Structure 1
Amino acid sequence: MNFEEAVVKVKDIPNGKLSQDELLNLYALFKQHTVGDIPSDSSRPGVFALKDRYKWDAWKKLDGMTKEQAGEEYAILVEELLAKYL
């Protein structure tokens, strides 16, 4: 499965099944593949925007990962989650 197929297939996972960590990993890998590293002019969201802060932190951990590697890891993660939840 490639990245584009994984983006479509991830929607097959029933709502409410994925853990917070799984959702954050999917988000971070998706952003790293589609955008790359967090822009240098982007600042970490404040403590009153916890959801955005968690997403920013998850994406920031992937700084330096290539877009290709992030796409491959996204597809692998989706395959694992499909096997786990379907």
Structure 2
Amino acid sequence: MGLKEDFEEHAEKVKSLTKKPSDADLLILYGLFKQATVGPVNTDRPGMFSMKERAKWDAWKAVEAKSKEEAMNDYITKAKQLLEADAAAA
């Protein structure tokens, strides 16, 4: 299986977690997902009254130095950690 297929498979698996990940974990996944699928940040930072959107933008900006492949690998690693923790808690 190629990296892109593995990435897409884990992106789907994360949606089936029985326990919602922490906000910090969700932001990590969001930033890595955007970097892997879109590339470097291509929008302006949201205003201070859009706290959720601003946090998501910051998470994406934090990983923009990674290549798409690095971001996919890191996303898969994080997804596996969350899936394992979810399975252990069940």
TM-score for both structures, normalised by structure 1: 0.90
Aligned to 1:53: 54
The count of residues paired between Structure 1 and Structure 2 equals: 83
Aligned to 2:21: 18
Counterpart secondary structure, 2:15: helix
Aligned to 1:6: 10
Aligned to 1:67: 68
Could you tell me how far 1:85 is from its partner in structure 2? 1.3
Could you tell me how far 1:43 is from its partner in structure 2? 1.3
CA RMSD of aligned residues (A): 1.3
Whether 1:35 aligns to 2:38 is yes
Identity across the alignment (%): 45
TM-score for both structures, normalised by structure 2: 0.86
Find the aligned partners of 1:63 and 1:74 in 2 and give their Cα distance. Answer: 13
Could you tell me how far 1:34 is from its partner in structure 2? 0.1
Could you tell me how far 1:11 is from its partner in structure 2? 1.4
Structure with more contact order per residue of length (Cα contacts < 8 Å, sep ≥ 6): 1
Q: Would you identify which runs of 4 or more consecutive aligned residues in structure 1 move more than 6 Å?
A: none
Find the aligned partners of 2:21 and 2:12 in 1 and give their Cα distance. Answer: 16
Counterpart secondary structure, 1:25: helix
Could you tell me how far 1:10 is from its partner in structure 2? 0.6
Could you tell me how far 1:52 is from its partner in structure 2? 0.2
Gaps of 5+ in 1: none
Find the aligned partners of 2:27 and 2:75 in 1 and give their Cα distance. Answer: 11
Find the aligned partners of 1:11 and 1:37 in 2 and give their Cα distance. Answer: 24
